[in-house]
Structure formats: structure tokens, C-alpha cells
Amino acid sequence: MALQPYRDQELNYFKFLSIVLNEFPKALRQTFKTMWDNSIGHRPGFQCWDDSPAVRNLFVSTEGGITKVPTHQSYNEWDCTALFQATIYSRTFALLGSSGHFKTLSDLYVKPRGVLHGSFHASVVSPGGDDAETSALAIDQLRLLRNSLCHSTSSEMNKIPFDQYVQHTKDAFKALGLKTDPIDAIGSLTESDFPTNEVRKLEQCIKEETRTYINFLEGVSSDINEL
């Protein structure tokens, strides 16, 4: 139990922090594996994702021989930044655009939306029923939600934005074919579920997540809003 009672705004922040740090990576890994198995794994010379060094090397090859994704590690070690890079910014899942050139899912579906900094996609469902677009928008919605925490200067969150962020998360999970039960479970947690040591762990994890996010941005020479 916390030494001092949390205010509702603090509890909301810790809940959403827990969702982002604990559930987002799981969702993104499952989505990456599904994308790989459905789009790449069946090709001659390839295999479904089993997280072996061999299949991770195959991923590097589809990326053109170089990637920012830490493929020397199990994908269970990949953080959100790496998983965004492995999906919507990946050459592996690039599709042919109207110009006749292959474009990443971000270039093809996300950038044209022109979502402003600090905003979110109004909907993650493709208006034309394009499954690839829906997946791209849903993944990017998780990216935007993660970024909102990395940019936050307060350890508090009012009820209205908390409810909105949770709904955005659930909509993205549903669009990706993922269960939302874990989101509901975390949303129902109480103060007793966040003892001081757990809170300190969450705070340290978001610092590390933010550091990774900033380091990635510093390595991007084009659009700083890209990730």
C-alpha cells in the first residue's frame, strides 16, 4: 500500500502507464508475428516466425541487409520503438503505391492522414475496408499514445483524457484482432495494486522508454514526428 493515498489523477496515470509499458509490447509483438506469418512466412525459402536466429536473419534480409531493429536479440526483448520500426516503418511489409514505388505502411497510410502533434487518429478502421490500412492506423495509434506519455511532464491524468486514451487503445487492439480484456483489467485496478515499489518500477521503465524514443529521434534526419 502506498505511504500516502494517491489522488485519482495519479492513479489514472499509473494505470495508463501500466497499459503502455506492459500491454503495448505484447500487442505489437503478436501483431508483428501475424504480419510476418501472413505476408512473408509462406514464401519459398522463408518460414513462419519462431523467433530463432535464422528467422531473425531472414527479417534482416527482407529489410535490405540493415535494420535499426535489434535482431541479435529475441523479439521478446524488442521495445515499442523497435516494434514500430519492425512494422509500420519496415521495408519488409512495404506495399506498392500509386506511384509505382514500394512504400512503408507509414508512408502509404499514416503520413497522408497528417495527424498533428499531440493528436490521435479519429478512427483506425480503413474507410475502404483495406486490412493493411487498418493495421497501419491501429499500430500508429499505439505509437501516438505511447508518445503522449513520453512527452508528458506530469504524473497525473484527469479522467476525461484517461477514458479517451483507454478507448483509443481498445479500438486499436480490436482493429488488430487482439483481446481487450487486459486493458479492462488494468482499468479496474485500485490503489492497493500500485505499491510504492511497483510505482518506482513503472517510473523507471517510462524513463528508459523515453530515452530510447529520444535516441531514435536523434538518429532520424528527416521528419522528427516519424517516431
Per-residue pLDDT tens listing for the chain (227 residues): 445 677 889 999 999 999 999 999 999 999 999 999 999 999 999 999 999 999 999 999 999 999 999 999 999 999 999 999 999 999 999 999 888 899 999 999 999 999 988 899 999 999 999 999 999 999 999 999 999 988 888 889 999 999 999 999 999 999 999 999 999 999 888 888 888 788 888 888 888 888 777 776 666 544 434 44
Domain presence at residue 53: no
Beta-bridge partners for 91: none
pLDDT at residue 220, rounded to an integer: 53
Residue 23 belongs to some domain of the structure: yes
Cα–Cα dist 154/134, whole Å: 32
Q: Is 122 helix (H, G, I), strand (E, B) or coil?
A: coil
Q: Say how far apart CA 77 and CA 63 lie, in whole Å.
A: 19
The contacts of residue 62 (CB under 8 Å, 6+ apart) are 40, 91, 92
Give the DSSP letter string of 189-219: --GGGS-HHHHHHHHHHHHHHHHHHHHHHHT
> Quick check: is 199 in a domain?
yes
- Cα–Cα distance for residue pair 174/211, rounded to 1 Å: 29
Q: Is residue 203 part of a domain?
A: yes
Task: Please indicate, yes or no, whether the overall pTM of this predicted structure exceeds 0.75.
Answer: yes
Identify whether 68 is part of a domain: no
Q: Is residue 131 part of a domain?
A: yes
Confirm whether 54 is domain-assigned.
Answer: no
pLDDT at 216: 66
In a domain, residue 55? The reply is: no
How many structural domains comprise the chain?
1
Domain assignment of residue 20, given as a range: 8-39+78-218
